[in-house]
Amino acid sequence: MAASSAAERVVIENCAIATVDAGDTEIASGHLVLAGNRIESVGAGGAPEGLGNVARRIDATGHLATPGLVNTHHHFYQWLTRGLATDHNLFDWLVALYPTWARIDEPMAYAAAQGSLAMMARGGVTTAMDHHYVFPRGSGDLSGAIIRAARETGVRFTLARGSMDRGESDGGLPPDFAVESLDDALAATEATVRQHHDSSFDAMTQVAGAPCSPFSVSTELMRQGAELARRLGVRLHTHGSETVEEEKFCHELFGMGPTDYFESTGWLGEDVWMAHCVHMNDADIAAFARTRTGVAHCPSSNARLAAGIARVPDMLAAGVPVGLGVDGTASNESGELHTELRGALLVNRLGAHREAALNAREALRLGTYGGARVLGRAAETGSLEPGKLADLVLWRMDTLAHSSIADPVTALVFGAAAPVTASFVNGRQIVENGRLLTVDEDAIARSTRDEARRLARIAAQD
């Protein structure tokens, strides 16, 4: 897994470095050498003398280098319905928006994915994921459109191929024409995995199996979906324990709480991660820790929908893998993950642990290594170590927003959103001075506006 000696090198010097390795190693002024798509060296002082094939040298004075941010939960299609139902709780919000979401098609999904990915990438995300579960009949190749947008943006990507088979007529929330049959959902998931999933060390595209949630999916789809994912060797993702209403729903329909229900359907394990997990008791947290089931913590979305505060400090203390998620931009209109570092720290300090809940370095770990672990990619990314993939961000810390904060990690997490001078994915620079190098942001702004208006027109005709 070492980089080839003939690979072109990029040398970055004179920056503070937060490696987020097992020892939380930090360097006040040091260097990184990228060789091809790997990190070749990280250390204090200048880069080693005599390096060959140096294509570029970057003087990163005034910057903090960190691993690239890893987003563990999102719904890209929601970029087209931002700013709607702003005073609703989760269930009312879903009821309000599902009729509109049920009208998306392939051009809309592509534009929305472009917008979501561009916003995250320009803010330091190097590994993204999308949980897409709305597949209206006749809507086109939505999975292919989303994956194409990720490839063009240049981020490392996991598509969680979602599904729903419990429509309104079966007691679910989505309209019947926006859900799939059990057999169609399983067949489409398998086809997506076989066409797009790459299991290699430096894979840019991976696929997970991802039935949506207990209140939009049958028990059989949960059970068979888990069996399918494990037969194909991919990870599993769903929503879990997001609201008190969900807990009540599970008790009424299944005679047990969400965690017990998930365990009964094969949905606890180190190959599983769930979004939100806000309403978890001690036994739930112990079950997640015992099975090493991961959690995608989405503080802004949970606050936006008044879902509550997840017990992240207790999860971490128990050994539960936890990463950060933007969640869909209809419940987190900013669409940025770097703001979630600060959000996670502040929101969790409103909980039982108060000022001891999280510190700056724990928040950074959630957004980097924690996310990589949740996605099953901690051996490859999430920390700055020789042999790992060259996914990293240079944050500018010497401007008005941060220059008087002596500790750069504190400045990054507690301060305003820091400018991204450079972001590298797989050794390729995709952001320079806050602008994407791979796609045209202004063109994406226009196309997402146009597709959002088209969707609104179609939805208004029903």
Domain boundary among 339, 355, 375: 375
Q: What is the CATH number of the domain that holds 237?
A: 3.20.20.140
Residue 457 within any structural domain of the chain: no
Q: Please return the burial class of 238, using the count of CB atoms within 10 Å of its CB with bins 0-12, 13-18 and 19+.
A: buried
Higher pLDDT, 167 or 37: 37
Structural domains of the chain, count? 2
124-142 residues labelled b (16+ CB within 10 A) or e (exposed): bbbbbbbbbbbbbeebbeb
**pLDDT at 169 (0 to 100):** 87
Q: Looking at the domain assignment, is residue 446 inside a domain?
A: no
Q: Is the domain of 314 the same as that of 430?
A: no
- Same domain membership, residue 168 and residue 125: yes
β 9-18/435-436 pair status: unpaired
pLDDT of residue 365: 98
The answer to the question of residue 109 being in a domain is yes
Strand partners, 209: 161, 236
Exposure string over 266-300, b if 16+ CB within 10 A, otherwise e: bbbbebbbbbbbbbbeeebbebbbebbbbbbbbbb
- Asked whether residue 461 is domain-assigned, the answer is no
Nearest-Å Rg of the Cα atoms of the chain is 21
| 54-59 vs 9-18, strand pairing mode | parallel
pLDDT in tens, 366-414: 999 999 999 999 999 999 999 999 999 999 999 999 999 999 999 999 9
What is the Cα–Cα distance from 29 to 26, expressed in whole angstroms?
A: 9
Pair 239, 361 in one domain: yes
By CB atoms closer than 10 A (0-12, 13-18, 19+), residue 251 is middle
Q: How far is CA 58 from CA 9, 144, 394, 437, in A?
A: 11, 36, 10, 17
Residue 195 host element (H or E): helix 182-196
Task: Return the sign of the alpha-carbon dihedral for residues 190, 195, 200, 205.
Answer: negative
Dist. CA 49–CA 383, nearest whole Å:
24
pLDDT number for residue 5: 56
Whether residues 49 and 27 fall in one domain: yes
- CATH number of domain containing 432: 2.30.40.10
Average pLDDT, the chain: 96
Please give the average per-residue pLDDT across 269-280, as a whole number.
97
Asked if residue 167 has pLDDT above 90, the reply is no
In a domain, 351, yes or no: yes
- Output the pLDDT for position 287: 98
Q: Which of 375, 392, 414 is the last residue of a domain?
A: 375
Residue-wise pLDDT tens digits, 4-51: 557 999 999 999 999 999 999 999 999 999 999 999 999 999 999 999
Q: What pLDDT shows up at residue 243?
A: 84
Domain assignment of residue 219, yes or no: yes
Q: Which domain holds residue 401?
A: 9-67+382-436
Verify that 403 and 254 share a domain, yes or no: no
**158 in a domain, yes or no?**
yes
Tell me if 442 is assigned to some domain: no
Cβ proximity of 213 and 246 under 8 Å: yes
Q: What is the pTM of this model?
A: 0.97
Residues 386, 360 share a domain: no
Same domain, 54 and 140: no
pLDDT above 50 (res 272): yes
Are residues 144 and 59 part of one domain? no
Q: In the prediction, which pLDDT does 1 show?
A: 43
Domain end position, chosen among 324, 345, 375: 375
324 and 387 housed in the same domain: no
* pLDDT value at 2 more than 60: no
Same domain, 185 and 263: yes
Separation of alpha carbons 291 and 198, rounded Å: 25
Residues 206 and 255 in one domain: yes
pLDDT tens digits along 80-100? 999 999 999 988 999 899 999
Lowest mean pLDDT of 161-175, 267-281, 350-364, name the range. 161-175
Element (H or E) spanning 322, and its range?
A: strand 322-324
Do 297 and 161 reside in the same domain of the chain?
yes
